[in-house]
Amino acid sequence: MKSFSFALSVTLLALALSTSGCITAETIDHAEGSQYTNDKGEVIVNEKATPELFALLPLTVPADIVTLPFQLLIGYLEVKGALPMRGPM
């Protein structure tokens, strides 16, 4: 029974590390902002950086952990064809 518990823990840890952490990733993307340089060398700002959002990271990481079972379920259903695959948002 102890080996089963260890195997389950390792499996859950591997699944947790393999998910995207979408809430945290989105928060970091918005905090950093986005910009690019066009052909003329001008810097174009798509989204202004909001560094204050980095303060939300202590909340977003637990939110990703709590929503992990739902992310896994939705991913499983998408792979099995029960749900349509999501495209870029």
- Would 13 be classed as within a structural domain? no
* Per-residue pLDDT tens over the stretch 7-59: 877 877 776 666 667 888 889 988 998 888 888 888 888 888 999 999 999 99
The count of domains in the chain is 1
The token pair at 19 is 């998910």
Q: Among all chains, which residue has been given the structure tokens 């066009």? A: 38
pLDDT greater than 90 at residue 3? no
Are the beta carbons of 62 and 21 closer than 8 angstroms?
no
Q: Decide if 65 is inside a domain.
A: yes
Give a yes or no: residue 37 inside a domain. yes
What is the pTM for the complete model shown? 0.60
Contact between 37 and 26 under an 8 Å Cβ cutoff? The reply is no
Copy the structure tokens of residue 75. Answer: 């991913």
Structural domain contains residue 86: no
Q: Note the pLDDT tens digit of each residue in 38-51.
A: 888 888 888 889 99
For residue 67, which of 10, 7, 20 has the smallest C-alpha distance? 20
- What pLDDT is attached to residue 68? 82
